[in-house]
Chain A
Amino acid sequence: MSAVRNSPSNQSPSRFAEGIAQVGACGIFLFRILAAIPRSFGHFKETVRQIWFVGAMSLTIIMTCGLFVGMVLGLQLYYVLSIFGGTAALGTVVSLSLYRELGPVVTALLFAGRAGTSITAEIGLMRATDQIDAMEMMAVDPLAYVVAPRFIAGIIAMPLLACIFNALGIFGAHLVGVNWLGLDNGTFWSNMTSSVDVWKDVINGVWKSVAFGAVCTLIATFQGYTTAPTSEGVAYATTRTVVFSAIATLALDFVMTAFLM
């Protein structure tokens, strides 16, 4: 291959244009999903099955990670707060960190790795084995039967998972701060309840989760639906789901934080 063909100036425009085209295609795909949602109401059972699949089946990883994240937060913040003699604020700082940022963001990243990849792989394999085409040939709209139920399931499951993540995180911080390091139990809970605002902190975190659920599931379904019908294509699509979901989640988190603060 010649040096000219390898030069960044020669490759960047096409890659950039390709990226823009992908974002545009994903946007059009979102509108197609939204249009298909009313038609997907007839597939209620499939939607419930998907909520179970992306939600209930993700519980183990969400609960385990939530517990450990809370325990690490408890340890680190106790150490930092003890420098200033402010360990009584441990419950407040941990809960605010979890409700406002860590809960929604880490849950979304875990969701992308656990549920997003399986959504992409499943739809991608359906594409590769002509199952999507077979549905179209049976006059069944795959957007309404396959994609929309997963999209709805992601939006419903993500905030629930984030709430569970937060609860286990606070429990983990309590284990470390109160049961291990000897912080007063009443101080831990009372400072937390007096400092955390339901609307400003908890509900804003829930809104973030809803948005992350929509974005992560959109990326996962789009990558699966448009994958090249080969094993390599499915592998690439699965990887792209994780990478793009992580980037989109963190970028959207910044934007939402700026608007919701």
Chain B
Amino acid sequence: MSSQPQPSASDALIQIRGLSTVLNGKTIFAGVDLDIPRGGITAIMGPSGTGKTTLIRHITGQLAPDAGEIIVDGKNVARIGREALFALREKIGYLFQNSALLTDFSVFENVAFPLRQHLRLPEELVRNIVLTKLQAVGLRGAADLMPNELSGGMIRRVALARAIVRDPMLIIYDEPFVGLDPIALNQILKLIRTLNQTLGITSILVAHELAAVSKVADQIYLLAGGKIAAHGSPEELGRGETPWTKQFFTGEADGPVPFHYPAPDYATQLGLA
């Protein structure tokens, strides 16, 4: 297990060097270096509020860092123009934490949305592609339903179908397992693995579920305290050889990651001292 990524990995789709971010006066990242290898499944894990989603927002160019470089497919996303950024995003599938389906559109139209916006395909082809993706997530029969008619797990699966509809080079899954029943969870895991193995799609997985992540991830980055606290394969991190991994993977309240948000003395605040 190593606490730092292998520098200048030539096969890395994403290279992050010296990333520093301060949001609302709070230091989120302080000199983070990280590599996401092409064609692999990389999990980003860490306690809540450590900046996992912020890291994703940096990678997708939604948020500019205060310092450091984020190179995605050879392009520094913080410095490229809007056109180039949108061209890059066309090659990225993003599964939002809350799915972010377009509520006025049916399931079918949600999945077809990226195709209709960017490609002038015959309607028959659009229909076939959308139904193929919906079949992959087990929701071909729900094509005509509206998002408000779906359960939380189904919404997530529709969002996944939309994220993969253009067969992107990179898929980012932000908390993909939340709200899924065991059957759907297993199918989504299979789908993530299949997309990775058959199409060679690079995947970034932001999740808390170590058991699920261990089944598919090639490597895990553990974020904590604004840095990479640990980095390695699921097996390596699962052994809990450092205080960070030990606390995170055993779920103990005591350790380097404080369970309690900084607060004044408890007894003083209650007026007992």
Contacts and interface: CB of A to CB of B under 8 A. Distances in A.
Contacts of A129: 98, 100, 103
Interface stretch (B113-121, B135-143, B203-211): B113-121
A139 B98 contact: no
A79 to B, nearest CB: 49
Nearest to B96: A130
Contacts of B96: 130, 133-134, 137
Interface in B87-135: 87, 89-90, 92, 94, 96-98, 100-103, 113-114, 117-118
Contact of B86 (A125, A131, A134, A141): A141
Nearest to A141: B86
Among A125, A134, A136, A145: residue with most chain B CB under 10 A: A134
B60 interface: yes
A224 to B, nearest CB: 14
A209 B34 CA distance: 56
B100 A134 contact: yes
B2 interface: no
Contact of B102 (A134, A136, A137, A139): A134
B89 A136 contact: yes
A48 to B, nearest CB: 15
B94 A134 contact: yes
A140 interface: yes
Nearest to A43: B117
A139 B89 contact: yes
B71 to A, nearest CB: 19
A1 interface: no
B98 A130 contact: yes
Interface residues of A, number: 13
B250 interface: no
A3 B113 CA distance: 55
Interface string B56-97: 000010100000000000000000000000110110101011
Contact of B113 (A125, A133, A138): A138
A145 B86 CA distance: 14
- Of the candidates A137, A140, A141, the one having the most CB atoms from chain B within 10 angstroms of its own CB is A137
A162 B14 CA distance: 55
Given A129-B103, A131-B103, A137 B92 contact: yes
A137 B103 contact: no
Nearest to A138: B114
Contacts of A140: 113-114, 117
Contacts of B92: 137
A137 B87 CA distance: 10
A134 B87 CA distance: 15
A130 to B, nearest CB: 4
A199 to B, nearest CB: 42
Contacts of B98: 129-130
A136 B62 contact: yes
Given A133-B62, A134-B94, A139 B87 contact: yes
Contacts of A141: 86
A131 B117 contact: no
A152 B191 CA distance: 42
A125 B98 CA distance: 13
A131 B87 CA distance: 19
Interface string A113-150: 00000000000010001110110111111000100000
Contacts of A136: 62, 89
Contacts of A133: 62, 96, 100
A85 to B, nearest CB: 58
Most buried by A among B86, B92, B118: B86
A180 B117 CA distance: 57
Interface string B153-189: 0000000001000000000000000000000000000
Contacts of A130: 96-98, 100
9 contacts: A130-B96, A131-B103, A134-B102, A137-B62, A137-B89, A137-B96, A138-B89, A139-B86, A139-B114
Given A130-B100, A136-B62, A138-B89, 4 more contacts: A125-B103, A134-B102, A137-B89, A138-B113
